[in-house]
Structure 1
Amino acid sequence: METISRTYSRNMEEEYEKFIRRMNPPRVVIDNESCKSATIIQVDSANKHGILLEVVQVLTDLNFIVTKAYISSDGGWFMDVFNVTDSEGNKITDEEILNYIQKVLGSETSFTTSMKSIGVASSMDRTVIELIGTDRPGLLSEVCAVLTHLKCNVINAEVWTHNTRAAFIVQVTDDESGLAVIEPERLSIIKQMLSNVLEGSNKAREAKTVVSNGVTHTERRLHQMMLEDRDFEGESSFSSLAQTERPDVNVVNWYDKDCSVVTIRCKDRPKLLFDTICTLTDMEYVVFHGNVDADGTKAYQEYCIRHVDGSPVKSEAERERMVQCIEAAIERRVSEGLKLELCTTDRIGLLSDVTRIFRENSLTVTRAEVATRGGKAVNTFYVRDASGCLVDSKIIDSIRKEIGQTILKVKYNPEDLNQSPQQSPTRFLFGGLFKSKSFCNFGLVRSYP
């Protein structure tokens, strides 16, 4: 009877929450008049765990820049106010986009799809492969070679490396039909062969390739994968940077309020808010008050949080782990070095070919974004030399001669050139192969996307 009573109570609570959401659908107010420099978006909604991340994820996917934010939740109600601009610093005035915001954030259903486990997932038009393992030279080249051998065409991919670990999500299609790979036997072979590549000769850390179902939000899954993989352990990739370049994360308890306060000070970048909220949410913390301010190049974030069980941070070990996890979330996107942007007609095996030139010229990649748009491959790589230092200009000259002087442009960032050489154990992902015909733009930057 006790088990039946608990189940009944839980079901009643879920139904009551659904009823409250139906009676109080989210209310979205968009104001382009009150602030001269930004569009103000206010979202009021019935509260539930993860709703803040869902709202931030929508804004991030639209490539909005959040300059200020105020977060508040009181009991069963949630209110968020964001000052946002587009990537050029302008207000959001496009009616189609404004209507989309109203439609998505104003829906009584969840804004996002549930996140599934690491593995291979199929939809009607593509198969999503999620992998994580120990970073090493040539890892992505080996993965792409396997996929090409198995007659899979890479249409989109995103790769992060951090603290000797590499995680990436690759979307592939069958190279003959152009549709998703759905045959169970073939998916099993893909899983097995990629697992063999990931394991390599290093058994110290587990590699993961698991078959699953569902739709993946790429950037959140990458955060989840690396958090679950405990990439926050070990030496920080910021350890050799100047003190002013490192993220400053503090966690203290306010005993009179029975909560913990997280403060973050670091260099600002567009997706910083998403990265920090994503990590707090996946660590099972609830933000019930918050203030975000980006002043010039610096960002300040302050969150009043409790664990989902209602408790503040309980121990020094828990506090240290939270600090490490937030720092890791910030570090995963920071890419210093040469930015390579490849634009060319897409073809089967392109990504495998693209990485050859990096290995031949002793380049390693810290992060990558691969996309296919309208039959064009639009790929971005962040590279340094094999020792983790800036790429030598002679190597750039060699690459330009091989690819073509008129189609390869190099833009140097003086700030990056003034940095002392950096050693990093995490910068080994791509080995590379390349002999393609058409590129568009290469530039040297420190990227905080």
Structure 2
Amino acid sequence: MDIFYHPHMDREIESLIERIHPPRVCIDNDSCRECTVVKVDSANKHGILLEMVQVLTDLDLIISRSYISSDGGWFMDVFHVTDQAGKKLTDETLMLHIQQKLCTTRRKGNISSDEDDETTSEPYGCDGPHSLQNTALEMTGLDRPGLLSEIAAVLAELGCTVTSGMAWTHNDRAACIIYVEDALKAGPIKDPIRLGHVQEQLQNVVEAHGDIGERKSVRLRNLAAGRTHTERRLHQLMYADRDYESCRACHGESSGEHKKGCDGTHVSVSRCKDKGYWVVNVRSRDRPKLLFDTVCVLTDLHYVVFHAAIRSKSSMAEQEYFIKHAVAGACLDEESERQKLILCLIAAIERRVSHVRLIPPTIKGLRVDIRTKNRTGLLSNVTRVFRENGLSVSRVEIGTQGDNAVGSFFVTDCSGQQVNPNIAELVRQECGGTVFTDHKSPYRVPKSSSSSLLAMDETTNNLVAKPIVSIGNMLWSQIERLSGSFGSIRS
């Protein structure tokens, strides 16, 4: 008979455990030559892994290796991290901030489930929490050229100033979260009649080119004190919009080796009958925030990660998870459930890099970075330049720093041609400030000292698999070796 994990504990008992066993965080610069090792030791609870990963990724740290163990009532995680330049962490202030943030996050439980998504918290480095200042627009629907430009134009016309936001596109679907405030008086739009009018106008934009019965959603609301992370919420919106249904699993040979020239995303789900776990193996091109995107899906689908090992080197990443479903009686025995999990993981990995062609791994467009004085209608002006020059926006990250607006726009040419190299100058003429373009691949990450299961054959430039040993088999020795090494920060 299978035994299912049901993560229910009285909140008072959980709080007592946390007071008796407060989280311990060690930041170690001695044990690894090229990486800083962050070790977290804490009482366990559902979702804690995602909380830890979010703290590190919000600080733009690169996680090159991780070992996770949370069987029973205790959680222990080890992260090998570097900065964006591939260097160890040396800033004492940053290391103290990481330590405090991990402990604070553990005690407060900053990440909510998809049922408790009333707010969205500010990414690290931006001004103040959105949830205390702004009204939020959440939209999903069919992607098309000019959609963001039309939404931004309506917001500007109705007197809404955009303060920050994110938008992703994937498999011809689009999702965005845009934070706005009243252009006349700073702060959220509190008049329910005006909120309803703005939402109605935005719904007209989204429905303008869609077929009858087309999936779409527009939601405009004021947010209370928040816990849900913006990027996690985007994953939830795209999952609810079923973008994963159009994903294609990339299957290797029956031996587990990849086909010649294939560096796509490979996901497998198998049964570990001895321990009652399901084992999920993910192999994909490495990039920043890959671990966060993967753990988001597992958490939002109510899978509990009991053990995991993640490693990367060069351009490839290997992830292995030992999971059970959090709901008693639910499991992956049905083939349809296993396929759904596989497609959801593939979708989560692809959403952030939908502007990249995997085979060969080349950029289909370019990134346009801007920094200029913030004002009402700025987003409308920028996206109108893109639309008038035949460009489609595939991904957006915008925010404010003081009085300035900063943002990155990932654009592609609607006709499949190269993006006009003068687009930066055209945006600069329209909006002023500083504008740069970037052709770098998002898959280029700093080299790490971690081992990999893969080697690059330099003569053929093809991936050749070495004899594979399950990462999970090596997890136990690593955890045992590191479990006694918690202490204070050492630099």
| 3-state SS in 2 of match to 1:269 | coil
Counterpart for residue 465 of structure 2: none
C-alpha separation in 2, matches of 1:292 and 1:400? 38
| 3-state SS in 2 of match to 1:36 | coil
C-alpha separation in 1, matches of 2:8 and 2:111? 22
Counterpart for residue 399 of structure 2: 371
* Alignment partner of 2:217 out of 208, 228, 243: 208
Q: Deviations over 1:241-300 (max 9, x none)?
A: 995231111111112221111111111111000000000000000110100001111111
C-alpha separation in 2, matches of 1:24 and 1:70? 21
- Aligned-residue offset at 1:357: 1.8
Counterpart for residue 189 of structure 2: 181
Does 1:435 find its partner at 2:430?
yes
Counterpart for residue 386 of structure 1: 414
Question: Partner amino acid for 1:142?
Answer: E
Unaligned runs of 5+ in 2: 1-6, 122-129, 252-258, 357-364, 445-491
C-alpha separation in 2, matches of 1:238 and 1:318? 17
Native 8 Å contact 1:253 1:312 kept in 2: no
1:123–1:53 CA distance, 2 compared to 1 (3 A): closer
Question: Partner amino acid for 2:62?
Answer: I
Counterpart for residue 4 of structure 1: none
Unaligned runs of 5+ in 1: 1-9, 408-433
Q: Deviations over 1:319-348 (max 9, x none)?
A: 100000000000001133211112222221
Native 8 Å contact 1:118 1:209 kept in 2: no
Deviating above 4 A after TM superposition, structure 1's stretches of 4 or more consecutive aligned residues are: 115-122, 235-239, 400-403
| 3-state SS in 2 of match to 1:232 | helix
1:11–1:70 CA distance, 2 compared to 1 (3 A): closer
- Aligned-residue offset at 1:179: 1.9
1:222–1:402 CA distance, 2 compared to 1 (3 A): closer
Counterpart for residue 281 of structure 2: 263
Mean Cα deviation higher: 341-350 or 30-39? 341-350
Native 8 Å contact 1:26 1:46 kept in 2: yes
* Alignment partner of 2:160 out of 138, 152, 166: 152
Does 1:53 find its partner at 2:50?
yes
Counterpart for residue 91 of structure 1: 88
C-alpha separation in 2, matches of 1:118 and 1:231? 22
C-alpha separation in 2, matches of 1:75 and 1:325? 27
* Alignment partner of 2:267 out of 249, 258, 261: 249
Native 8 Å contact 1:259 1:313 kept in 2: no
Counterpart for residue 71 of structure 2: 74
C-alpha separation in 1, matches of 2:304 and 2:379? 40
Counterpart for residue 416 of structure 1: none
Native 8 Å contact 2:332 2:338 kept in 1: yes
Native 8 Å contact 2:249 2:265 kept in 1: no
* Alignment partner of 1:353 out of 381, 387, 393: 381
Question: Partner amino acid for 1:332?
Answer: R
Q: Deviations over 1:187-237 (max 9, x none)?
A: 222222222222224233332223363434210100111112211012559
Question: Partner amino acid for 1:198?
Answer: V
| 3-state SS in 2 of match to 1:303 | strand
1:255–1:243 CA distance, 2 compared to 1 (3 A): farther
Does 1:222 find its partner at 2:234?
yes
C-alpha separation in 2, matches of 1:164 and 1:448? 22
Does 1:193 find its partner at 2:237?
no
Native 8 Å contact 2:119 2:131 kept in 1: no
C-alpha separation in 2, matches of 1:20 and 1:119? 28
Does 1:329 find its partner at 2:348?
yes
- Aligned-residue offset at 1:402: 4.4
Native 8 Å contact 2:263 2:285 kept in 1: yes
TM-score (norm 1): 0.84
Counterpart for residue 26 of structure 1: 23
Native 8 Å contact 1:118 1:208 kept in 2: no
- Aligned-residue offset at 1:401: 6.3
Does 1:282 find its partner at 2:300?
yes
- Identity, in percent, stands at 44
1:385–1:56 CA distance, 2 compared to 1 (3 A): same
Native 8 Å contact 2:69 2:75 kept in 1: yes
C-alpha separation in 2, matches of 1:235 and 1:321? 10
Question: Partner amino acid for 2:439?
Answer: L
Native 8 Å contact 1:119 1:129 kept in 2: no
Counterpart for residue 135 of structure 1: 143
Native 8 Å contact 1:58 1:111 kept in 2: no
C-alpha separation in 2, matches of 1:124 and 1:368? 23
Question: Partner amino acid for 1:302?
Answer: E
Counterpart for residue 473 of structure 2: none
C-alpha separation in 1, matches of 2:413 and 2:301? 35
Native 8 Å contact 2:250 2:266 kept in 1: no
Native 8 Å contact 1:260 1:306 kept in 2: yes
Counterpart for residue 5 of structure 1: none
Q: Using CA pairs below 8 Å that are at least 6 residues apart, which structure has the higher relative contact order?
A: 2
Root-mean-square deviation (Å) = 2.6
When the two structures are aligned, how many residues end up with a matched partner?
406
